[in-house]
């Protein structure tokens, strides 16, 4: 099997004879779900719009394996986001569908693009931004293509456009003291996704001189830090892998190009200690397929191997992308084939495989790495855990978030001679509003940019906001705001909220939570954790 077409980045060749200048009312960077809803909304309102997409695909994570949607309260979803899940429901003969096959999600997005005649340009690698009088005048791509627009919308997972426009942002975890939060910063002692027994981190157990097992970092006490302290680490990435047991549609896990079984010795040690839970968060989808996500002390999260992604060059990101691919596929290959793995586990894992009818252009492997967080804009208003917990409310809501505060682990370290994961936070919350001020920059930095994905938020609040249905909500709201700014010939900071709210409601957005709706956030959060971790 070939994975030659599975990559994040290949340099674009500039053709001086084919340099293009494209002009639109609204230019969107990133064909993520937020970019698609923004584009659809702008098109519906009669403006010209295009999407410049870094990769060769549209739909981001929603069309790349994340088929078990982290929805939270379904009543908090409105507008195009709700329409998307209803269209999936129509495909499967249901009212609404939050579990779906990747190729079906992709087909819904393609239908949107075709129905609304949206121009999408692929392999557009942002090179530089031209600013003029506090506005983005034009953006330039590696291949020589440039775009001019009245309003720009950054819907990339990384915030590449906002960064090149000189907009303030943060990477990593703020200290609790920064915004007077209680769940931010370093977090030891989380109840979930931890090693359930003492696991020695050294190659030879008890022998520090033998070196560390791969994937473990030994730090000084000062470097380890304390709960609530800031640091530069970010929550782990992985691929959301679509699997199947259907023998007619199954491809056995192939050995990845750079396979290293030593990367899984910590997992093997954990299994031999009596714990097997690496595939517990394995959610079934239609037609016998599943969405495999991280679970337990050692699973698909490649903890600590993504720190250079947010501000990294495209070449560095390609290295990280391939490392995550080799790690995730390698884990499945190891569990299915290595004779040191107990036979029952090998047989269990071998019963699964890659579906022949998904991701046919990339070796049946998802094309999008799950960028759980990267850059986060710093604007006049920063969403924090005060918003998530209902301690603070905003008066300029453009949509609701309702998923738990959810940070995956950020580090795997040696602590008092044992291996410890650090960073996981799971806090149930009720639906809460997201501020319009959180998706537009400070006026002194840029007056014609909207950022509905890498919005102004602390690390822990972003852990709740960062769900694909919410990105779709915020993308649509950004599209409406862009229309109003152009119509009224004003900066995005000057958009009148009463006019914006009226327009959002007209488009079916939900901007206020109805307190009469019964919603149990604790019960909803419990769905996330799949099976319990039990000793073998």
Residues 178 and 378 sit within 8 Å (Cβ to Cβ)? no
Pairing between strand 49-52 and 119-121?
Answer: parallel
Longest dimension (CA), the chain: 69
Residue 218 — very low, low, confident or very high, per pLDDT cuts 50/70/90? very high
pLDDT of residue 348: 97
Judged against a pLDDT cut of 90, whether residue 13 lies above it is answered with: no
pLDDT mean over 254-270: 98
Cβ neighbours around 170 below 10 Å, total: 21
pLDDT of residue 71: 84
Judged against a pLDDT cut of 70, whether residue 312 lies above it is answered with: yes
Judged against a pLDDT cut of 90, whether residue 57 lies above it is answered with: yes
pLDDT of residue 531: 64
pLDDT mean over 285-311: 97
Spell 488-514 as b/e; 16+ CB within 10 A means b. Answer: eeebbbebebeebbebbeebebbbebe
pLDDT in tens, 504-520: 999 999 999 999 999 98
Residue 523 — very low, low, confident or very high, per pLDDT cuts 50/70/90? confident
Q: Determine what percent of the chain is predicted with pLDDT higher than 90.
A: 93
Q: In terms of Cα–Cα distance, which of 491, 497, 494, 501 is closest to 152?
A: 491
CA–CA dist 466, 34 (Å, integer)? 11
Structure tokens at 218: 């030994």
pLDDT of residue 529: 64
Structure tokens at 327: 């790690």
> Rounded to two decimals, what is the model's pTM?
0.97
pLDDT, the chain, mean: 96
pLDDT mean over 313-342: 98
Cβ neighbours around 161 below 10 Å, total: 26
Phi, then psi, of 480 in degrees rounded to 5: -65, -45
Q: How far is CA 142 from CA 9, 11, 135, in A?
A: 12, 8, 21
CA–CA dist 15, 490 (Å, integer)? 36
pLDDT of residue 527: 73
């Amino acid at each position: 099997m070939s994975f030659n077409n599975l990559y994040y980045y290949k340099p674009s060749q500039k053709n001086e004879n084919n340099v293009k200048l494209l002009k639109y009312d609204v230019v969107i960077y990133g064909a993520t779900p937020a970019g698609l809803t923004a584009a659809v909304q702008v098109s519906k309102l009669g403006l010209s719009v295009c999407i410049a997409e870094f990769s060769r695909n549209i739909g981001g994570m929603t069309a790349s394996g994340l088929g078990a949607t982290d929805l939270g309260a379904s009543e908090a979803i409105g507008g195009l986001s709700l329409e998307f899940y209803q269209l999936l429901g129509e495909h499967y003969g249901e009212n609404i569908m939050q579990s779906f096959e990747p190729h079906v999600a992709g087909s819904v997005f393609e239908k949107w693009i075709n129905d609304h005649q949206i121009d999408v340009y692929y392999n557009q690698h942002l090179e530089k931004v031209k600013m003029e009088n506090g506005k983005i005048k034009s953006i330039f791509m590696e291949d020589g293509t440039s775009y001019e627009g009245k309003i720009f919308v950054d819907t990339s997972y990384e915030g590449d456009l906002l960064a090149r426009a000189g907009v303030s942002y943060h990477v990593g975890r703020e200290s609790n003291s920064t915004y007077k939060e209680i769940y931010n910063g370093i977090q030891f002692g989380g109840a979930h996704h931890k090693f359930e027994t003492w696991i020695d981190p050294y190659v030879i157990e008890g022998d520090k001189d033998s070196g560390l097992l791969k994937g473990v970092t030994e730090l000084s006490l000062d470097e380890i830090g304390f709960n609530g302290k800031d640091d530069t680490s970010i929550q782990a990435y992985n691929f959301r892998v679509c699997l199947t047991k259907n023998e007619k549609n199954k491809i056995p896990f192939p050995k990845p190009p750079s396979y290293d079984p030593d990367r899984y010795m910590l997992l093997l040690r954990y299994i031999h200690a009596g714990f097997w839970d690496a595939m517990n968060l394995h959610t079934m989808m239609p037609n016998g397929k599943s969405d495999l996500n991280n679970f337990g002390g050692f699973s698909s999260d490649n903890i600590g191997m993504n720190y250079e992604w947010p501000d990294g060059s495209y070449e560095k990101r390609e290295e990280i992308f391939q490392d995550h691919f080799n790690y995730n596929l390698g884990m499945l290959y190891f569990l299915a084939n290595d004779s040191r793995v107990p036979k029952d586990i090998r047989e269990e894992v071998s019963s699964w495989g890659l579906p022949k009818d998904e991701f046919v252009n990339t070796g049946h492997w998802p094309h999008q790495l799950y960028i759980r967080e990267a850059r986060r804009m710093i604007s006049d208003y920063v969403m924090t855990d005060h918003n998530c917990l209902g301690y603070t409310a905003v008066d300029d809501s453009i949509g609701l978030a309702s998923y738990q505060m959810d940070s995956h682990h950020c580090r795997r370290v040696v602590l008092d001679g044992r291996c410890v994961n650090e960073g996981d936070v799971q806090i149930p919350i009720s639906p809460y509003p997201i501020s319009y001020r959180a998706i537009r920059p400070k006026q002194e930095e840029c007056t014609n940019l909207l950022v509905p994905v890498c919005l102004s938020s602390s690390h822990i609040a972003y852990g709740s906001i960062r769900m694909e249905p919410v990105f779709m909500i915020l993308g649509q709201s950004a599209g409406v705001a862009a229309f109003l700014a152009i119509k009224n010939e004003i900066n995005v900071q000057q958009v009148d909220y009463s006019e914006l709210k009226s327009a959002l409601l007209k488009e079916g957005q939900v901007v206020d939570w109805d307190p009469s709706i019964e919603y149990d956030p604790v019960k909803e959060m419990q769905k996330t954790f799949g099976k319990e971790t039990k000793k073998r």
